[in-house]
A and B are shown apart, each in its own frame.
Chain A
Amino acid sequence: MTAPALLEVCDLSYAYGDHVAVDGMSFTLRRGEALGLLGPNGAGKTTTFSCLAGLRRPRSGELRLEGRTFLPFACDTDRAVLGLVPQEVSLYADLTARENLAFFGRIQGVAPEELDDRIAAALTLAGLEDRADHRIATFSGGMKRRLNLAVATLHQPPILLLDEPTVGVDPHSRHHLFAALERLRDGGASLLYSTHAMEDAQRLCDRIVVLDHGRVLAVGTHEELAAGVGEPGADLETVFLHLTGRSLRDS
């Protein structure tokens, strides 16, 4: 049985001056699913995330959350349902892991009496219990990425926006990150996962939205996408190249 829609993106558009980065994009994130946004560089993934996270005001289109209009740019309470994991590690290098978590917890409005428990849970999720009181500046890239994810979960948002969260991490940290994301999904969170790594999308995502030039090219499970391009059983990379073409993307 198909899970109900949680977040609907309807005909979303955004332009940087004359350059249209997102061009009438529509897709649906269902409750408790991991939806992959798969596209080459410049496909519009990060801009779409920015619009969903309320960092950019869409030029046109509509966002709906559980059927009602969703305005993350204008309404700060709407943003409470979102947990953003930015592409870059966005932490304070001179604060410890615990101090970073405490700060972002307060910013997200976590009640003071719950904050310690939330921090402990986040540290466990990131596998950083024994490094809680070390400064981020002393962390490896993988540790920072794990904490970057954990920060977004402090206020227990029903939707996590993950913008290429595994870029540049070692296999151990990557494995830990995926395990953490799977736990979050199994716990009921909906994941919107942007990537251009096929194996990431294949491993984590229930369905995939293939994007290029700011448009949605196809939506479905891996099997549905493969069947859609007339190559049942093909791997995701073959399907992706079939949909997006083989020309280089340098922007």
Chain B
Amino acid sequence: MSEFDQLYREVILDHYRNPRGHGALEECDAHAEGQNPLCGDEVSIFVRFADDGETIDEVGFEGRGCAISQAATSMLTEMVKGRKAADVAVLPKDELLEEIGIPLTPIRLKCAILGLGVLKVALHRAKGTPLPAEWQGLADELDLDS
């Protein structure tokens, strides 16, 4: 596969053009928004829990920005649906990066994990738990709503 095909492989473009989980949830249990001031990517995430108050029943997002940031957030909504909030709150970023599956330079890495950072802020806030130190730096840098 050429470098070009790897970077903008069809699955990324497909998620960008047809984002899954797109749209705000009218009623939600967790919400946060964030932006990357470097390039203006914006993501806003809404989560609704199932009756057990733990399982992610619905997740939606709104945003605008580069293909990487928006496609990654779209993929993220598919990944986390049906999982426990506590698990997703500590989800390692590598799990998302493997799913994205393209080589990312440091500057584009921030585009890719913007949505995950926003989701973590939303879940930790809803559960009243502190954001892990590893993400706090990113939260400051990326202007994640806290």
Task: Please indicate whether A and B come from the same complex rather than being unrelated chains.
Answer: no
Residues of B within 8 A of A (CB): none
Residues of A within 8 A of B (CB): none
